[in-house]
Amino acid sequence: MKDQLKIAIYSGDIPSTTFIERLIIGLSRKDCEIYLFGFTKKKISYSKSVSVFAYKNTKISKTLFLIKYSLLLLLFKGKDKRKLDAILKKQSKNLLLDKVKCYPILWHKPDIFHVQWAKGLADWVWVKAFGIKLVLSLRGAHINYSPIADATLAAMYKENFPRVDAFHAVSIAIGLEAEKYNASREKIQVVYSGLRPDQMSVKLPKENPVFQIISIGRPHWKKGYTYAIDALKTLESQGFKFHYTIIGGANHIEFSYQVHDLKLENEVTLLDTLPYAKVQELMVDADLLLLPSIEEGIANVVLEAMQNRTLVLTTDCGGMQEVIQDGYSGFIVPIRDSDAIAKKIIDIMIIEEKAKTSLLNNALDTITSQHSEEEMVSQMLALYQTL
Amino acid sequence: MAKTRSHIQTIGIVLSSVPGYSETFFRNKIKGLQAHGFRVILFVDYLRADDASFSCKVVSAPPFGASILSAIWYSFFAVLKLFFIHPKRAYRLYQLNKKDGLPFKENIRNLILNHFFLGHHVDWLHFGFGMLAVNRENVAAAMGAKMAVSFRGFDLYLSPLKHPNCYDILFEKTIDYHVLSQEMKHDLRGYNIASEHIHIITPAIDTEFFIFHKKRVFTDTLELITVARLHWKKGLEYTFEALACLKEQGVNFHYTIIGDGIERERLVFAAYQLGILDDITFAGKLPHDQVRKTLENASIYLQYSIQEGFCNAVLEAQSMGLLCIVSDAEGLAENVLDGKTGWVVPKRQPKVLAQKINDVHHLSIDEKEKIITTAKYRVKSIFNLEQQNQAFINFYENKRK
């Protein structure tokens, strides 16, 4: 029997973010073994093909973990251990913690080590010295803006990107951005995020007394909510009736103050994070999903809205133009332009039912053809198999 | 020279920590009070290593939060002190808290946390920020002292949004409030506080230090400057958008921001996306003398804040003879008089700001000089430290106008 490919998906946390978990579960159904390393935030059960080698974020757990793998390596892979110790000694800022993180990887030695977050890349280049192939995902802020504001990070990317065996880009746009830091074009493969067809909501949308706009996402500046709120002030001043809800926007003083200062308390609701099912329900009920972001790879929430047949208005940030065509499968406005958001919302408010149906059909077609989970997993597996 | 008076008043000032070297407001205030014969005790939540040499007596809360063991240990001593050293004050505080509806367990916790105040004798207990008085609304009364609370921009406008109803108990007390501007007084009155209990004492600066004797040179390239923490409330993203408009119109400028903060990444990325990163210098935090030196080389000072109590940096810029363009956030419209000592632009309207910068840039030298002279004179005569010190003395001696 042919040896199965052993793939380590490393994000540091177990469980990881929704889209990384989707990848793990998808791959676990294929003919390969998945290894997860890092620390456990909460207990989660995977299928048999997923092996978890994790510690809890406590001193005792880390100590026991370190003793176990130190002994195993010392007894059975002494030479490798000495080699790794020498590498870590040169580069490490916290030698003990790095040993806790690295020893299990050296012991289990996956064929491929897939790092999900680029900022941590320098910590994992050592795997190449042991014949492990290194794959890096190019995602959002790590590529799009952090290296612009942090020259040290940019220098680290320029030094280490040539050592990466393959890049997984979440969009064409982010792949191009990574090339600025010496990522070789030939090594970059775009694999779009995928959704499962059974995740499509079956709930029927409700008739809203006023136009319902929704945004979903953590309260981070890159989400551009300040532009959205400014835009809605323009709408309110012009007498338009609407309600805007930001799920995940609660308890953030910048947004609370802006809503209060612009006297939009009746028009804007800032909600805390909600369970996935509730979010999907509110999304279906909304007349428009607004993504006012100034930076994204490709926002998963837009994909979900398209699958759930909710109209989308997005900015042209990151790779959003790869999924939304303005006037065909949704609407696009420039980043950092609240006037443009306001104008476009007014256009959308008066759109005819027939045109709306056509837009929603086109959006769903895009998701079906370009963003299926099956396709994502197959493409990722193909990427691994080329190495 | 220090005044002599029959009773030396003791002012207890409550802050979260001993003011650092750059926190000139509280340092100047304490120095001024001492020079006028007041005794000052500073109550703080925690001490740092270099706080021992501070110019007045400093009383720190025990480190309850260091660990569970230290919480138990210090609570035990606090209970002993409450029972055996100042039982009367402890009982009074308990009764007053109870009257405010504090449940028994909360009340005991309140007594333990605030016991470190009770052993001291002060005429006034003055909380330096509104939030510092929360859960301490009855401490001054228990000590037999008068109570005052200073509100700055953040704690009047933002804290109630972050902690809804946080001032409900405080605002029921008949105490004195210090605010920085008419606008703040107006907004505080919105909480049903009687006008006679709200006293405006505007910030002040060292006008002898922030002075520039040479004639300001205006070049074709606009030298713009802001001194501000890199924080969303300073409105720097809107400022950048205005500068991007200027660049689109072909106006040459260079913008320097003095200050550091948590939102550096956000702002650098904004400048990058707006295509003005090369036109901006993020100078970071600088010492006073370097701030002054950098101000000397600029021509227009921008403070396009979203929220601002009053803003000392704008006073310093006016004193240095810079043309100031500010937003209409809270106290800024009193700091700069529109069209007389600078210009006030509605906030969150970057296109309007861009237009105003362009207009000011194209004013004649005489028109610019007129504004500069008026601003300098106004700052020197109204916003100087001696005037501020006297205002606080009047505040404590109840000789308020």
Residues of A in contact with B239 (CB under 8 A): none
Q: Is B207 on the interface with A (CB under 8 A)?
A: no
**pLDDT value of position B3:** 46
User: Which of A148, A150, A257 lies closest to B161 in CB terms?
Assistant: A257
Q: Is A150 on the interface with B (CB under 8 A)?
A: yes
| B252-301 pLDDT, tens digit each | 999 999 999 999 999 999 999 999 999 999 999 999 899 999 999 999 99
Q: A150 vs A147, A293, B130, B228, CA distance in Å?
A: 5, 21, 36, 20
Asked whether the predicted pLDDT for residue B400 surpasses 80, the reply is no
- CATH architecture type of domain A5-194+373-385: 3-Layer(aba) Sandwich (3.40)
A316 to chain B, closest Cα gap in Å: 12
A59 to chain B, closest Cα gap in Å: 17
Higher pLDDT: B398 or A122? It is A122
For B263, the closest chain A residue by CA position comes to A221
Cross-chain Cβ contact B306/A150 below 8 Å: no
Q: CATH homologous superfamily of domain A199-370?
A: Glycogen Phosphorylase B; (3.40.50.2000)
Residues of B in contact with A221 (CB under 8 A): 232, 263, 266
Q: Is A362 on the interface with B (CB under 8 A)?
A: no
| B313-369 pLDDT, tens digit each | 999 999 999 999 999 998 999 999 999 999 999 999 999 999 999 999 999 999 999
**pLDDT value of position B7:** 72
For B231, the closest chain A residue by CA position comes to A254
Cross-chain Cβ contact B306/A260 below 8 Å: no
**pLDDT value of position B94:** 94
Q: For the range B246-253, what are the long-range contacts, defined as Cβ-Cβ under 8 Å and sequence gap of 24 or more?
A: B246/B222, B246/B354, B246/B357, B246/B358, B247/B275, B247/B276, B247/B279, B249/B354, B249/B358, B251/B222, B251/B357, B251/B358, B251/B361, B252/B220, B252/B221, B252/B222, B253/B221, B253/B222, B253/B223, B253/B224, B253/B279
Tokens 């209060």 locate to A260
Higher pLDDT: B29 or A153? It is A153
Higher pLDDT: B263 or B80? It is B263
Cross-chain Cβ contact A261/B306 below 8 Å: yes
Tokens coding A300 = 């998963």
Domains of chain B: 10-60+121-204+385-396 (3.40.50.2000), 222-382 (3.40.50.2000)
Asked whether the predicted pLDDT for residue B1 surpasses 50, the reply is no
Positions of chain A with pLDDT under 50: 1
User: Which of B162, B241, B263 lies closest to A253 in CB terms?
Assistant: B162
**pLDDT value of position A22:** 87
Asked whether the predicted pLDDT for residue B398 surpasses 80, the reply is no
User: Which of A149, A254, A258 lies closest to B269 in CB terms?
Assistant: A149
B152 to chain A, closest Cα gap in Å: 16
**pLDDT value of position B67:** 78
The band of B6, judged by pLDDT with boundaries at 50, 70 and 90, is low
For B269, the closest chain A residue by CA position comes to A145
Domain(s) of CATH 3.40.50.2000: residues in chain A: 5-194+373-385, 199-370
Mean pLDDT of chain B: 91
Residues of A in contact with B233 (CB under 8 A): 254, 257
The band of B79, judged by pLDDT with boundaries at 50, 70 and 90, is confident
**HSE toward the beta carbon, residue A356, CA cutoff 13 A:** 14
Cβ contacts from A onto B, under 8 A: 48
Q: Is B274 on the interface with A (CB under 8 A)?
A: yes
**pLDDT value of position A34:** 95
Its pTM stands at 0.89
CA–CA gap between residue A3 and residue A300 (Å, rounded): 34
